[in-house]
């Protein structure tokens, strides 16, 4: 059985057909919508608020000045309710595009930039949503823990640490643990292009040390210092920035 894991689609659907045809199951590890592409300064935020204020806010966020970043955008908006409604409309559009392109053998969880309630309201029946639970594909059991850990960004896809860590308890022992977040270890969380450390999960480290799955698959860090390594007996793999590469991580597993 061939299983491919991808992450960080950010609205890019043009490569989904090719990657899905080459596998028996497609795992999507979150960040389905394109809120902001730092490479091109495109995305939903730019469509709603304009390029200049979003670029200014992004620079402030990169310097840790989160309140000022929010103010920089809000000052450019005459009608906050209309802007929020437009944001949700465009996020729904992105979700619909992604779901229209996903095959029936897809299993998804959500990432930190996702809006879980909106995602679930748009998700078609043929796509299975996974979060804090597991599924057996062939002879291999996969567990999923969705969302991002809490940060000063305070965005919808972030989860408080106790809630996030409780999902690992619900999953229990599996052969492959799938998360959006990396383990909170410097060489997995450092982005060599952005030149900063992204957040990571301490709970994931504890889970891997306790249950020792064969693989730990994750995304979130687009340009990791170390895309593949280990924690004890577990091989840890950043499955890649799908929006940029159109590729994922493929495993050939027993039926």
Q: Which residue has the tokens 């698959």?
A: 217
What does the pLDDT read at residue 28? 98
Q: For residue 122, give the CATH number of its domain.
A: 3.60.21.10
Q: Output the pLDDT for position 78.
A: 64
| Two structure tokens written together for 207 | 């889970």
Tell me the residue range of the domain where 211 lies.
2-32+106-252
Select from 185, 232, 237, 230 the least CA-distant residue to 212.
232
Residue where the block lists tokens 């966020």: 61
Place of tokens 């229209």: 100
Nearest to 59, CA basis, from 38, 87, 80: 38
- Tens-digit pLDDT profile for the chain (255 aa)? 999 999 999 999 999 999 998 899 999 999 999 998 888 878 998 888 888 777 777 777 777 787 777 777 777 776 678 888 999 999 999 999 999 999 999 999 999 999 999 999 999 999 999 999 999 999 999 999 999 999 988 889 999 999 999 999 999 999 999 999 999 999 999 999 989 999 999 999 999 999 999 999 999 999 999 999 999 999 999 999 999 999 999 999 998
- Looking at residue 84, its pLDDT comes to 87
Helix axes 202-211, 161-171, angle to 10 degrees: 20
pLDDT of residue 90: 95
- pLDDT at residue 219 in the model: 98
Q: How far apart are CA 197 and CA 49, in angstroms?
A: 27
Q: Which of 3, 37, 57 is nearest to 242 (CA)?
A: 37
Span 154-189, pLDDT tens digits: 889 999 999 999 999 999 999 999 999 999 999 999
Distance CA 137, CA 1 (A): 8
Residue 76 burial (10 A CB sphere; 0-12, 13-18, 19+): middle
Write down the pTM of the prediction: 0.93
Residue 200 falls inside a structural domain: yes
**How far is 176 from 26, CA to CA, in rounded Å?**
14
**Looking at the 3D structure of the chain, how many domains does it have?**
1
Nearest to 201 by CA among 241, 233, 161, 239: 161
223 within some domain: yes
d(CA 255, CA 238): 24
- pLDDT per residue as tens digits for the range 210-248: 999 999 999 999 999 999 999 999 999 999 999 999 999
Q: Which pLDDT does position 57 carry in this prediction? A: 73
Beta-bridge partner residues of 224: 191
How many Cα atoms sit within 13 Å of 10 on the Cβ side?
A: 26
Judge contact between 143 and 178, C-beta under 8 A: yes
- Give the DSSP per-residue string, 217-246: EE---SSBS-SEEEETTEEEEE---HHHHS
Please report whether residue 90 resides in a domain.
Answer: no
Residue 126 maps to a domain: yes
- pLDDT for 150 equals 93
Residue 44 is assigned to a structural domain of this protein:
no
């Amino acid at each position: 059985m061939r299983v491919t894991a991808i992450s960080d689609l950010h609205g890019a659907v043009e490569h989904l057909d090719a990657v899905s045809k080459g596998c028996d199951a497609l795992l999507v590890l979150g960040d389905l919508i394109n809120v902001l592409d730092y490479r091109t300064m495109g995305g939903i935020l730019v469509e709603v608020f304009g390029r200049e204020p979003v670029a200014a806010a992004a620079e402030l966020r990169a310097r840790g000045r989160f309140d000022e970043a929010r103010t920089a955008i809000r000052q450019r908006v005459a009608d906050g309710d209309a802007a929020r409604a437009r944001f949700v409309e465009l996020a729904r559009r992105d979700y619909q595009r992604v779901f229209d392109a996903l095959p029936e053998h897809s299993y998804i969880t959500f990432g930190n930039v996702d809006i879980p309630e909106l995602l679930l309201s748009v998700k078609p029946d043929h796509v299975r949503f996974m979060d804090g639970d597991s599924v057996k594909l062939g002879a291999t059991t996969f567990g999923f823990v969705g969302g991002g850990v809490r940060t000063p960004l305070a965005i919808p896809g972030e989860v408080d640490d106790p809630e996030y860590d409780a999902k690992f308890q619900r999953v229990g022992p599996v052969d492959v643990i799938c998360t959006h977040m990396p383990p909170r270890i410097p060489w997995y969380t450092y982005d060599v292009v952005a030149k900063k450390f992204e957040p990571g999960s301490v709970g994931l480290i504890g889970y891997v040390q306790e249950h020792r799955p064969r693989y730990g698959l994750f995304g979130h860090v687009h340009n990791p210092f170390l895309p593949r390594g280990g924690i004890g007996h577990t091989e840890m793999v950043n499955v890649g920035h799908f929006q940029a590469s159109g590729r994922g991580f493929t495993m050939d597993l027993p039926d």
